[in-house]
Structure 1
Amino acid sequence: MTITLSQQDYWDLVYSMDETDALSNQHEQQPESQKTDSQSADHDTTWRSHNPLRKGYYREIQIRDGLDLAIADECFHTDLIITSCDRDHPLELNYTLVGVESSNLNSTHAGQHAFYGSGMAPGEALNVVANQRSLCISIHIEPALFCQWAAGSPEQLPDQIRHWVKPSDQIYYIQVSKTTTAMQTALQQILQCPFQGLTQRLYLESKVWELMALQLAHTLEPEGANPKAKPLKPEDVERIHYAKEVLVARLDQPPSLIELARLVGINDCKLKVGFRQVFGTTVFSYLHDCRMTRSRQLLDAGELTVAEAAKAVGFANRSHFAIAFRKKFGVNPRTYRQEMLNSCRVG
Structure 2
Amino acid sequence: MTINISRHNLFDIFFEVEQTKQGYDPADEFDILWQYPSQFGEGYCRTIELQQGLGLLIAQHQLHEDLAIKASERGDDYLFYGCCLSGSYEGRDVHSSSNSAGGAGQYILSSGGALSSEIMVTSARQPFAIVDAWMSPERFCSFAGNASGEIPPELEHLLRQSTQQPHTRYETTSPAMLLVAQQILHCPYWGMTKRIYLESKALELLALMIAEEREAQQGKQLPSKLKLQHVDCIHHARNILLGNLDNPPSLMELARKVGLNERSLRQGFRRVFGTTAFAYLHDYRLEKARQLLSSGEMKVIEVAYSIGFVNRSYFAAAFKKKFGLSPKEYQMQQKKSG
Q: If the length of structure 1 is used for normalisation, what is the TM-score?
A: 0.58
Deviation for aligned residue 1:102: 1.4
Equivalent residues in 2 for 1:257-276, closer than 5 Å: none
SS of structure 2 residue aligned to 1:156: coil
2:89 to 89, 95, 101: 101
- Asked if structure 1 preserves the Cα contact closer than 8 Å seen for 2:13 and 2:37, the reply is no
Deviation for aligned residue 1:230: 7.4
User: What letter corresponds to residue 170 of structure 1 in structure 2?
Assistant: Q
Deviation for aligned residue 1:123: 2.4
Report the counterpart of residue 115 of structure 1 in structure 2: 109
Provide Cα deviations, 1:7-36, integer angstroms capped at 9, x if missing partner. 12112224432x445326x4xxx7xxxx44
Deviation for aligned residue 1:126: 1.1
Deviation for aligned residue 1:51: 2.2
- Asked if structure 2 preserves the Cα contact closer than 8 Å seen for 1:99 and 1:109, the reply is yes
1:58 to 45, 66, 83: 45
Pair 1:189-2:183 in alignment: yes
- Distance in 2 between residues matched to 1:230 and 1:179, nearest whole Å: 16
Report the counterpart of residue 7 of structure 2 in structure 1: 7
Report the counterpart of residue 151 of structure 2 in structure 1: 157
Over 3 Å counting, the alpha-carbon distance change for 1:99 and 1:147 in structure 2 is: same
Report the counterpart of residue 246 of structure 2 in structure 1: none
Equivalent residues in 2 for 1:193-208, closer than 5 Å: 193-208=187-202
Identity rate of aligned residues, in percent? 30
User: What letter corresponds to residue 119 of structure 2 in structure 1?
Assistant: A
Pair 1:22-2:21 in alignment: yes
Report the counterpart of residue 290 of structure 2 in structure 1: none
Report the counterpart of residue 174 of structure 1 in structure 2: 168
- Distance in 2 between residues matched to 1:172 and 1:207, nearest whole Å: 25
Over 3 Å counting, the alpha-carbon distance change for 1:170 and 1:194 in structure 2 is: same
- Asked if structure 1 preserves the Cα contact closer than 8 Å seen for 2:87 and 2:123, the reply is no
Which has more helix, going by share of residues? 1
Pair 1:46-2:33 in alignment: yes
Provide Cα deviations, 1:116-163, integer angstroms capped at 9, x if missing partner. 012223221111233531111111111111111234577611011011
- Asked if structure 2 preserves the Cα contact closer than 8 Å seen for 1:154 and 1:162, the reply is no
- Distance in 2 between residues matched to 1:44 and 1:152, nearest whole Å: 33
SS of structure 1 residue aligned to 2:22: helix
- Asked if structure 2 preserves the Cα contact closer than 8 Å seen for 1:93 and 1:138, the reply is yes
Deviation for aligned residue 1:76: 1.2
SS of structure 2 residue aligned to 1:221: helix
Equivalent residues in 2 for 1:82-93, closer than 5 Å: 82-89=69-76, 90-93=78-81
- Distance in 2 between residues matched to 1:125 and 1:150, nearest whole Å: 34
User: What letter corresponds to residue 96 of structure 1 in structure 2?
Assistant: C
SS of structure 1 residue aligned to 2:143: helix
Deviation for aligned residue 1:168: 1.7
Gaps of 5+ in 2: 93-98, 228-338
Over 3 Å counting, the alpha-carbon distance change for 1:156 and 1:5 in structure 2 is: same
Deviation for aligned residue 1:212: 1.1
Pair 1:72-2:66 in alignment: no
Provide Cα deviations, 1:266-321, integer angstroms capped at 9, x if missing partner. xxxxxxxxxxxxxxxxxxxxxxxxxxxxxxxxxxxxxxxxxxxxxxxxxxxxxxxx
Over 3 Å counting, the alpha-carbon distance change for 1:166 and 1:200 in structure 2 is: same
- Asked if structure 2 preserves the Cα contact closer than 8 Å seen for 1:147 and 1:153, the reply is no
Gaps of 5+ in 1: 233-347
- Distance in 2 between residues matched to 1:83 and 1:196, nearest whole Å: 36
Aligned length: 221
Runs of 4+ in 1 over 6 A off after TM superposition: none
Over 3 Å counting, the alpha-carbon distance change for 1:152 and 1:4 in structure 2 is: farther
SS of structure 2 residue aligned to 1:106: strand
- Distance in 1 between residues matched to 2:223 and 2:20, nearest whole Å: 52
- Asked if structure 1 preserves the Cα contact closer than 8 Å seen for 2:71 and 2:115, the reply is no
- Asked if structure 2 preserves the Cα contact closer than 8 Å seen for 1:14 and 1:51, the reply is no
Report the counterpart of residue 135 of structure 1 in structure 2: 129
- Asked if structure 1 preserves the Cα contact closer than 8 Å seen for 2:141 and 2:151, the reply is yes
- Distance in 1 between residues matched to 2:146 and 2:35, nearest whole Å: 39
Pair 1:215-2:209 in alignment: yes
SS of structure 2 residue aligned to 1:136: strand
Report the counterpart of residue 248 of structure 1 in structure 2: none
- Distance in 2 between residues matched to 1:52 and 1:135, nearest whole Å: 18
SS of structure 1 residue aligned to 2:164: coil
Q: If the length of structure 2 is used for normalisation, what is the TM-score?
A: 0.59
User: What letter corresponds to residue 22 of structure 1 in structure 2?
Assistant: K
Over 3 Å counting, the alpha-carbon distance change for 1:230 and 1:148 in structure 2 is: closer
